[in-house]
A and B are shown apart, each in its own frame.
Chain A
Amino acid sequence: MTRNITDALGLAARVHAGLESAESVVAACLSDIAARDPGLNCFTAVLADRARADAVAIDARLRAGKPVGPLGGVPFAVKNLFDIEGLTTLAGSKILAGRPAATKDASVVQRLRAAGAILVGALNMDEFAYGFSTENSHYGATRNPHDPARIAGGSSGGSAAAVGAGFVPITLGSDTNGSIRVPAALCGVFGLKPTYGRLSRAGSFPFVDSLDHVGPFARTVRDLAAAYDAMQGADAADPACSPPDDQPLLPTLDTPDRGLRIGILGGWFRQGASEEALAAVDRVAAAFGERAGAAKVVNVELAGAQAARSAAFCLTGAEGGSLHRRRLSERPLDFDPATRDRLLAGLMLPAGVLVECRRVRRQFQAEARALFETVDLLLAPATPCAAPRIGEAIVNIAGRDTPVRANLGLYTQPISFIGLPAISAPVSEVGPLPLGVQLIAPAWREDRLLRAAHWLEQTGVTRAPAPVA
């Protein structure tokens, strides 16, 4: 029995070499989920029959000497807003539960399967992806694998917790305002939010079209890169997905960029953060500073960050409210009340405010572009604090009482607002609970981002802690 599957590429190598069959991997994975997930509530559906059938097919291909793909035999799972053939796409809601089952898999699910990965289940999330905690009023809270009394973060909480717990080595989530980076940080795993338009969203239930991204979670940067590589490529089914290039990144990870200029984001990105969150950033910055060949580490600011975050806040409510307008009208009492009231308020925003938000986006985008003329990567906390307790509405951070739900995305929202690629990397030894640091690159420079994250991981400064639940 394989327990705590933590290394996708290592597992794929063992399956390819015949040291382990895909069928035995999947059997162990399903057994582990059955035994431990009731305590964590990561999964909303387990696809046992489908996964076993896929594993049998992988093993048959291997026996026949046929290729199975770089992730052959690797179990994965996806946030339940991704379409899975034969399963109703819930997007964390009760309202969608009565809809017909999806007739095909989402594009990125198809691509991971084409690379040999085996889908084993769908994962819990905040209702309609509107939240940072995965305390879902319909399907229960997902618990943090490092302390089950605490939240996993959200909205892709099931995705982060499933990797953190070692159920599967790769999961998929979505990130509109921080919904990959926040739970990745709180669960101690790597999460990649690529550039807006890099990965196809076709077959995923939308939230805010102009801000929605999809991306992978993993316990290592190599696995993150392998999943990203498998999913890359334009997709006519998602009008926003037209990347300028497809860059396979896994082969480049061990070739570090020389002379990187690292900017530590100050101002907005250090206000309201706990000492531990700032220590995590400083630890990563120090590692870059001590790196042979690193040109410099400097303090920088993005003055428009607060306005960008506010604009993201308004745009989210308005676009989300518009998307759900009919459901809000016909079935208001079937929403989580907190989600519903935010969507209704967003629906009422005047059009003029939305235009102003989009104008601020252009301004902030220009400011970030100018900053990237002087630095290659930016550093910022992923969250202001480690995982709060389940049900905790207010946390005290740096002496101030702070509402949890509204503020876990303080430092992620400005970045996704302008579509920049970012990784949340788990930082070692900064406190009893996991904390993440955002590495942020210019648009379309996931290559630089992943190489830097891989280098940090090699130094031991960032590392996914072993699951304890």
Chain B
Amino acid sequence: MNGVDGGDELDEVRMAAWALIDVALPQACLPGVRANLQILAGHAAVVRSALVDETTEAAEVFRP
């Protein structure tokens, strides 16, 4: 995880995060989910690189 040295403890944290999602993943889904996570990671990086620090999402319901 980006050079973070966590070992077993990091695995525990990951498992705890996964437990929050609480969806059983059939074996057949794993390759597709992994591929889609890689795509989303790329998009998330684009989003992060575009952020200006002080911008916030203020409204509960988006209004144009």
A contact residues around B36 at 8 Å (CB): 317, 341-342, 344-346
For the complex, count residues of B whose C-beta is within 8 A of A: 34
Interface stretch, picked from A54-62, A305-313, A381-389, is A305-313
Contact between chains at A361 and B62 (CB < 8 Å): yes
| CB pair A347 B55 closer than 8 Å | no
A333 at the B interface (CB under 8 A): yes
Q: Are B33 and A196 in contact (CB under 8 A)?
A: no
Q: Given A333-B26, A340-B32, A362-B56, are A356 and B40 also a contact pair (CB < 8 Å)?
A: no
- Which residues 372-423 of A sit at the B interface, judged by CB distance below 8 A? 406, 418-420
Q: Which residues of B contact A (CB under 8 A)?
A: 17, 21-26, 28-29, 32-33, 35-37, 39-40, 42-44, 46-52, 55-58, 61-64
Chain A contact-residue range equals: 35 or more
Given the complex, which residues of A lie within 8 Å of B25, measured CB to CB?
A: 332, 344
Q: A344-B36, A363-B52 are in contact. Are A314 and B64 (CB under 8 A)?
A: no
The dominant DSSP class at the B interface is helix
Mask, A325-350, CB within 8 Å of B = 1, is 10011001100011011101111111
Q: Tell whether A361 pairs with B43 under 8 Å between CB atoms, given A195-B64, A344-B25, A443-B64.
A: no
Q: Which 5 A-B pairs have the closest CB atoms?
A: A341-B32, A307-B50, A419-B64, A345-B36, A358-B57
Which of A239, A337, A355, A406 is close to B57, meaning CB atoms less than 8 Å apart? A355
Please give the distance in Å from A357's CB to the nearest CB on chain B: 6
Grouping DSSP codes into helix (H, G, I), strand (E, B) and loop, the A interface class, with mixed when no group exceeds half, is helix
- In whole angstroms, how far apart are the Cα atoms of A420 and B63 in the complex? 10
Q: Which residues from chain B contact A344 at a C-beta distance below 8 Å?
A: 23, 25, 29, 32-33, 36
How far, in Å, is A272 (CB) from chain B's closest CB? 15
| Chain B proximity mask over A210-239: 1 for CB below 8 Å, otherwise 0 | 100000000000000000000000000001
Q: Which of A240-291 contact B (CB under 8 A)?
A: 240
CB < 8 Å neighbour of A353 from B39, B44, B50, B61? B44
B36 to chain A, nearest CB (A): 3
The residues of A that contact B32 with a CB separation of less than 8 Å are 337-338, 340-342, 344
Question: Which one, A311, A325, A359, A418, contacts B43 given CB within 8 A?
Answer: A311
Contact B64–A325 (Cβ < 8 Å): no
Report chain A residues within 8 Å CB of B55.
359-360, 362-363
**Cα of A338 to Cα of B28 in the assembled complex, Å:** 11
